[in-house]
Structure 1
Amino acid sequence: MRDHRAFLASVPVAVREAMVDRSDGPGLRHLAGHLGAILAVGALIAVGVPGWWLLLPVQGVLITFLFTLEHEATHRTPFRTAWLNDWVGRLCGLLLVLPFEWFRAFHMAHHRWTNLPGKDPELAGPKPATRGAWVWHVSGLPYWWSEVSLLAALVRGRVTDSFVAEGAKGRIVAEARGMALVYALAGLSLVWTDVVLWVWVVPSLLGQPFLRLYLLAEHGDCPEVANMFENTRTTFTTRAVRWVAWNMPYHVEHHVWPMVPFHRLPEVHGLMREELRVTADGYTGFTREYLARRPGWTESGKV
């Protein structure tokens, strides 16, 4: 069977050129819908409509899944205009406490060394080995500790990751310090109003577990090999999930052809569907199978 390089080499040049052609329109329309949903749900929470607390996890999912847009922006594929990709990525990073300039370097290293131990920075933090570790991971608490610690280090000018180029360190530190200032002002606003708490902070805490579950499916339990058809998983899911995740459930498609804009990934899926080797039928199905491969609640595997 072919690997991802052989597949790409087999695609006609005209098709390859068409697939990587970028434009601002689809991205701006999708962004308007996503941000519009966040603002609309946030407004309902802010004014305290009856049952407003039921909207908190909805708002959380909408906010935390901006991660998929930030991820796409590192490739500069959602929009043709370069600065638009960068500033949208920075906005997403601000909302997620995930510095965009640092994440760009991290994510490029992930694409270069996908799922290869000792090289892929995503593997620096091990995937859950037991069901107890899975609960801790999915809670989102390790994520928040990691990102707050990272931000604190960057604010102090400490950029030690090997995947960060020397020339990028100044931008990374400057961005982190700007983010810290915004967070300080947001915290100060709590003296007068709790809107930030209920529209952003609490929803983000509630939404992070959904994102953790989603992200585990991308490479969790995939073979640690260089072939993108084997080290990455595409998950078949609903239109709503594909929409909020900017089509990233087509994850094999994205890794094989990372310069294709999000809105063309369904077409790429049509081209390579017969090549896919690691797939899941929905996130519930993936999670069930993932947990079935895990021992009990202790590191030793004893239930």
Structure 2
Amino acid sequence: MARPCSIEGPLRQDFINKLALVRVKTYGQGDMSEKRTPPVIDWYRSPISSELFKQLHKRSDWLGLVQTGGFLVIVASTGCLAYFSWTQGWPWPVTVMLVFLHGMVSSFHTNGMHELEHGTVFKTKALNAFFLRVISFLGWINFEVFIASHQRHHRHTLHPPDDQEVVLPVKILKKHFYQQGFVNFTSLWWHIKYTIRIARGKMETPWELYCYPPDGPQLRIPPVRWARTLLIGHGLIFAVSVAMGWWMLPVLTTLAPFYGGWLFFLCNNTQHVGLQDNVPDFRLCCRTIILNPVFRFLYWQMNYHTEHHMYAAVPCYHLKRLHEAIEHDLPPSPNGLIATWRQIGGILRRQESEPGYQYRAPLSDAAERRY
């Protein structure tokens, strides 16, 4: 069984840091630097008809704009409202509430980056690339590093050492929610140090060296370039704001990913925690949950996480339809965040007394016979 993870310092960039500041388990430096060929995993995928397969994989610039543009409109609207409240001298509790609301929606930049990184949101590649950079900049995310790691995560989901993006078991405590759900100074400080390090071309952790080996220096150019873009861009925002006296501007741009993250925390930490590793079945290592339409939209439909792993090329706006098509072949999905965290809480409590315990999601009799 995998060792418990530390929750204090992330190894993966923004996606893990802002999830729960979970540090995935690292194997020895020598282990990760060894030349090895990862095994090919024969993943089970719930069958769908060829016609439905084609329909679900169709990308749409219009639907992509609805998701991406709609999300950015919400971010811009909450930011403008908070700025207006500050400039007009509204009561300070109102301004604080509006700033916090802006941070809450801005926390989901991570999920937008994730979907755009898959290249499935827009039919037009240039639109994917453009909005990937916009959202990554707003979220302080080095999407180049994320891509290198996330490709391996999908191929070898929860199969260490070939997936170190998520390594089970993960320990989540109430204090982590309070630390990260309101004002997350730890994440801000980590991002600054991390981005400076990558901008200097310093790949240090075993997983970084595995994704960016020393004998491939050309592979490091894109993440280094983007890290420098983040530092220069956010540095300019801060400098202009100080010069012009626009104190609220950096709060609503540069600092926005680092406060109000309570909803993001509750959504994103549900994906794999407490489930099984080293199994070739996404139904056992991924968790789908049912959310209301507003939360689903902010979360970029990633509540359908089992479906996303089964068919990673399906655009996020088709995942609900995919879920409905294969629901009969999936474990029961918790309905809402309260039900989901009751399930997760029970698993985590049992793991305290049984460190090797992993929750096995119930499958149909036919599916169980496969094992």
Quickly name the TM-score band, shorter chain normalised. Answer: 0.7 to 0.9
Q: TM-score, normalization: structure 2?
A: 0.72
Q: Identity rate of aligned residues, in percent?
A: 22
Shift of 1:207: 2.5
**Residue 64 (structure 1) aligned with residue 107 (structure 2):** yes
Name the CA distance, whole Å, in 1 between partners of 2:315 and 2:309. 12
Name the CA distance, whole Å, in 2 between partners of 1:196 and 1:272. 46
Is contact 1:154–1:176 with CA below 8 Å preserved after alignment? Answer: yes
Change (3 A) 1:143 1:233: farther
Alignment gaps of 5+ in structure 1: none
**Residue 174 (structure 1) aligned with residue 228 (structure 2):** no
Name the CA distance, whole Å, in 2 between partners of 1:218 and 1:112. 16
**1:128 partner amino acid:** K
Equivalent residue runs for 1:34-73 within 5 Å: 34-48=71-85, 50=90, 51-73=94-116
SS of structure 1 residue aligned to 2:276: coil
Shift of 1:259: 0.2
Alignment gaps of 5+ in structure 2: 1-41, 356-371
**Residue 232 (structure 1) aligned with residue 286 (structure 2):** yes
SS of structure 2 residue aligned to 1:207: coil
Shift of 1:4: 5.5
The match for 1:281 is: 335
More helix, by proportion: 1
SS of structure 2 residue aligned to 1:121: coil
Name the CA distance, whole Å, in 1 between partners of 2:270 and 2:170. 11
Shift of 1:124: 5.6
Change (3 A) 1:278 1:121: farther
User: Number of matched residues?
Assistant: 295
**1:219 partner amino acid:** H
**Residue 29 (structure 1) aligned with residue 72 (structure 2):** no
Name the CA distance, whole Å, in 1 between partners of 2:170 and 2:211. 20
Equivalent residue runs for 1:227-266 within 5 Å: 227-266=281-320
Name the CA distance, whole Å, in 1 between partners of 2:272 and 2:224. 30
**Residue 11 (structure 1) aligned with residue 65 (structure 2):** no
Change (3 A) 1:33 1:131: closer
SS of structure 2 residue aligned to 1:16: helix
For structure 1, which segment, 35-44 or 196-205, has the greater mean C-alpha deviation from structure 2 after superposition? 196-205
The match for 1:103 is: 146
Change (3 A) 1:219 1:212: same
User: Which is greater in Rg?
Assistant: 2
Name the CA distance, whole Å, in 2 between partners of 1:102 and 1:92. 15
Shift of 1:28: 1.0
**1:44 partner amino acid:** L
Is contact 1:230–1:278 with CA below 8 Å preserved after alignment? Answer: no
Q: TM-score, normalization: structure 1?
A: 0.87
Change (3 A) 1:111 1:144: farther
